[in-house]
C-alpha cells in the first residue's frame, strides 16, 4: 500500500500543467517507482486525476499516453484494459471525455498488437 501511495506522490510532484517540459527525464525518474502492473494501473489513474484537475491535459492525452508507453511506464495490455474498464470513481462525463481523448492511441496500440500476433 505504501508503494502505491509513493507512486501517486511521485507522479503528482513530477507531472503538472507543463507536461512536455522535461518529460523524458521525469518519466525515467517515475519508472523507478513503477515496477509492477499494479503501479502501471495507478499511473493511468493518476493521468485521469490530472485530467480532472486540468482540462487542458485532455488534448495532450494521446501524446502523454504515448510518452508513458515509450518510456516503459505502461504496457500495451494495461493501457487497453484501463481504456475498456473506466474508473468508477471518476465522474461519468469526464471519464467519457478521457476515453474519447485517448481513443486514437489505444486504437494504435490494439492495431500494433494485432499486427504482432499475425
pLDDT of the chain along its 118 residues, tens only? Answer: 557 788 888 888 888 767 888 999 999 999 988 989 999 999 999 999 999 988 899 999 999 999 999 999 999 999 999 999 998 889 999 999 999 999 999 999 998 867 766 4
Note the pLDDT of residue 7: 84
Note the pLDDT of residue 85: 93
For the chain, give every domain's residue range: 2-117
Please, what CATH class does the domain formed by 2-117 belong to? mainly alpha
All three cell numbers of 62: 494521446
C-alpha–C-alpha distance, residues 44 and 76, integer Å? 12
Note the pLDDT of residue 106: 96
Q: What phi, psi does 95 have (nearest 5°)? A: -60, -40
58 neighbors 17 (Cβ within 8 angstroms):
no
Amino acid at each position: 500500500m505504501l508503494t502505491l501511495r509513493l507512486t501517486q506522490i511521485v507522479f503528482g510532484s513530477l507531472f503538472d500543467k507543463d507536461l512536455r517540459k522535461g518529460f523524458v527525464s521525469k518519466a525515467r525518474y517515475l519508472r523507478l517507482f513503477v515496477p509492477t502492473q499494479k503501479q502501471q494501473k495507478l499511473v493511468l489513474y493518476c493521468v485521469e486525476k490530472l485530467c480532472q484537475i486540468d482540462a487542458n491535459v485532455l488534448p495532450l492525452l494521446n501524446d502523454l499516453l504515448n510518452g508513458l508507453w515509450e518510456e516503459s511506464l505502461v504496457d500495451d495490455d494495461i493501457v487497453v484494459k484501463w481504456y475498456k474498464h473506466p474508473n468508477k470513481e471518476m465522474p461519468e462525463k469526464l471519464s467519457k471525455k478521457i476515453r474519447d481523448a485517448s481513443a486514437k492511441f489505444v486504437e494504435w496500440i490494439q492495431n500494433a498488437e494485432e499486427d504482432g500476433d499475425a
